[in-house]
Amino acid sequence: MHREHALCPDGASGECVPPLFYADDQALLATTPAGLRFQLGYLESYCAAWGLTVNTKKTQVVVYTTGGAAATEERFRYGGNEVETVPTFRYLGVHLHCRQAFASAASYRAEAGRRAMHLLRRRLAENGLQDPLLSMRAFRSYVLPTLSYGAEIWAPQLILQGRTACERVQLEYLRGLLGVRDSTPALIVLAETGQLPLPAYWTLQVARFVSNLQAMGGERVARLAMLDSVALAADTDTELPLARQPWAAQVSRVLAAAGAPCDLTADEGVAIPELAEALLERHVASYTHASVKVQRYIEDVWGGSISAEAYTPASFLCDVPERRRRPSGIFMCLGDVRAWGPMCPMPFECPAAALPAAGSPHQHRHPSAWQA
């Protein structure tokens, strides 16, 4: 193990941060070029002593700046080889940029999430799985973690600002599941599928992360980093743009906006079940001030009001498992609905119900009546 004091050159200020290891990945942090060169030299000596090697082709340096072009005049070497200086670097699955805020990682997560979404669709089709509820569970299990990886760090700013590329992936999947146009309002798509918007999941993820940090011992590096961010937030002008505010300030605003204000320096974490209920209530309340098209949908489909207790997937999605072995399942029905053109009155009798094996006719919400 390294001795912490050996990693700090003479005259260093602040508290020394030990090397950050994860499996065979390591991050070295320094506030000056000299400090980073010192750590690279120490790492080289350590590896030589223990017979370890470093792949310099995968080793890169990111010099963080507050604006302008990336700093490239500094040169760093390891084992006689020059280490490349780059503007962005992917570390443990999260992209870090030399000038942009943590929120810039969302665009990379959206790309990865879209690939995972297409792969999921292909796997479901290959196995003949047409149950919408199963498809949504699979999305939450496979695609949502891909979209939300590392969201505890990069998502607070985006939760407060609104629509992101990651949310577009979620809505694209749900619109495809319903068989409606891309112009169908997001609130209608979420209500029909009984899903919460992606920022609500991120808020819960941030709250769990904060609770875990608060439960850590006082000497853990992650907890110390959070406390340092809290101290930095206390000395930061609250009028600064959101992207320039410390992580702790953004997290405090996220939790307060969700109805769960929290003292990040306390040992008691956020009550997750209560927060989940508050997020659902907040989302349902957003329909009250929605667009005219959404208001018409609430009036026609929900009888004029929507409640948290009734916020579940539409019945035509839940009825599918009973007839999913027949080729005229819900996806065929929805495809036909789009081809019919004019909006039909609600409720309607599903064409699949007329088939001999379908049993008695059933009523459920008509997709074409609320798609744009």
Q: What is the DSSP string of 91-158?
A: ETTEEEESSS-GGGHHHHHHHHHHHHHHHHHHHHHHTT---HHHHHHHIIIIIHHHHTTTHHHHSHHH
* CA–centroid distance for 28 within its chain: 26
When pLDDT is averaged across residues 288-304 and rounded to a whole number, the result is 92
**What pLDDT is recorded for position 23?**
77
At residue 161, the pLDDT reads: 87
166's tokens: 């990651």
Rounded CA gap, 367 and 343, in Å?
9
Residue 232 to residue 79: CA distance in whole angstroms: 37
Nearest to 199 by CA among 239, 156, 236: 156
Residue bearing the bigger pLDDT, 358 or 312: 312
- Phi/psi of residue 232, each to 5°? -65, -40
Looking at per-residue pLDDT, the higher value among 22 and 179 belongs to 179
Distance from C-alpha of 352 to C-alpha of 333, rounded to nearest angstrom? 7
For the chain, strand residue ranges (E) read 20-22, 25-27, 60-61, 76-78, 81-85, 88-91, 94-97, 348-349, 363-364
Q: What are the residues whose beta carbons fall under 8 Å from the beta carbon of 52, sequence distance 6 or more?
A: 46
Q: What is the pLDDT of residues 92-143, one digit of tens each?
A: 888 888 888 888 889 999 999 999 999 999 999 998 888 899 999 999 999 9
Max alpha carbon distance in the chain (Å)? Answer: 85
pLDDT digits (tens, 9 = 90+) for 220-255: 888 888 999 999 999 888 888 888 889 999 999 999
Predicted confidence at residue 69, as pLDDT, reads: 55
Nearest to 366 by CA among 352, 351, 354, 348: 348
Residues 6+ positions from 129 with CB-CB distance below 8 Å = 135, 324
Q: Is the pLDDT of residue 348 over 80?
A: no
C-alpha angle 152-163-185 in degrees, rounded to nearest 5: 135
CA angle 73, 71, 154 (to 5 degrees): 155
Confidence of residue 30 (pLDDT cuts 50, 70, 90): confident
> Quick one: pLDDT at residue 296?
93
pLDDT digits (tens, 9 = 90+) for 175-195: 999 999 999 999 999 999 999
Contact call for residues 210 and 269 (beta carbons, < 8 A): yes
pLDDT for residue 335 is more than 90:
no
Taking 80 as the threshold, does the pLDDT of residue 88 lie above it? yes
* The pLDDT value given to residue 324: 52
Amino acid identity, position 152: E
Q: Which amino acid is at 19?
A: P
pLDDT higher than 60, residue 321 = no
Mean predicted confidence (pLDDT) in 158-164? 87
- Beta-carbon contacts of 327 under 8 Å, excluding residues fewer than 6 positions away, are none
Query: Is 50 exceeded by the pLDDT of residue 3?
Result: no
Residue type (1 letter), 275: L
Closest CA to 232 of 253, 214, 215, 247: 247
Q: Give the DSSP H/E element, type plus range, for residue 363.
A: strand 363-364
Pick from 62-76, 109-123, 260-274 the range whose average pLDDT is largest: 109-123
Tokens of 255: 């939790």
Measured distance CA(116)–CA(148) in Å, rounded: 12
* Structure-block tokens of residue 295: 């208001």
- Can you tell me the distance from the alpha carbon of 300 to that of 194, in angstroms, rounded to the nearest whole number? 17
Local confidence band at 371 (pLDDT 50, 70, 90 cut-offs)? low
CA–CA separation, 134 vs 233, rounded Å? Answer: 43
pLDDT on residue 98: 84
Confidence band, pLDDT 50/70/90 cuts, at residue 349: very low
Confidence of residue 294 (pLDDT cuts 50, 70, 90): very high
Q: Residue 88: left if φ>0, alpha if ψ -120 to 50, beta else—which one?
A: beta
| Range with lowest mean pLDDT among 67-71, 255-259, 315-319 | 67-71
Residue of higher predicted confidence among 320 and 254: 254
